[in-house]
Amino acid sequence: MKVIEKHIVPKIEAPIRLQEYAVGIFKTLPTRSGIKKAIKKQLILLNGKPANTGDWIEEGQVLELRQEDLPQKKIFQLKLRVIFEDEFLAVIEKPSGYPTNGNYFKTIENALPYNLKTSEEEDALPYPIPVHRLDNPTSGLLIIAKTKNAQVKLNQAFEAKEIQKSYLAIVSGAMVSEGVFN
């Protein structure tokens, strides 16, 4: 497994457990629950060995975050329109009739490696991942993360409602009233 982040513990005032100390030291793992999951999956090493939540942290210790090995993704060869792409994220046009992701082969997520370049950044994801979803019958723009840091920041922006989705519907027939539907 590839090490994506490394941290050397500086002088600390009082003993602290890894679970509390590690929150915020890895830019790609900013939450306590993320730290717990990474420790459980043995993705955090303490002095070269898999760490435990109860390990005590001391000055000079080396903490490393490894990238999770994921199974090889089956690629769905569906041509998508790429609106924007850089090393960190992409925006694609999702056609209607395909689920964003899920337990199917013909998903937009499985078509992303066919349409997007792999990031060269240190925290590159093994394959691009949508950070939100659009329902199967819905077409529209979909934001894709290519690095772990972009994925975390975009998820935080959606959670804080800094990114909002808006929909346009075309209706057939007479509408009883006018209004905004939420």
Of the residues 69, 86, 123, 135, only one is catalytic, namely 135
Q: Tell me, yes or no, if 135 is annotated catalytic.
A: yes
Extract the tokens encoding 22: 């590690």
Detail the DSSP E strand segments found in 18-149. Answer: 44-46, 49-50, 56-57, 62-66, 81-85, 89-94, 124-130, 140-147
Give the burial class of 44: count Cβ atoms within 10 A of its Cβ; 0-12 exposed, 13-18 middle, 19 or more buried. Answer: buried
Catalytic residues: 135
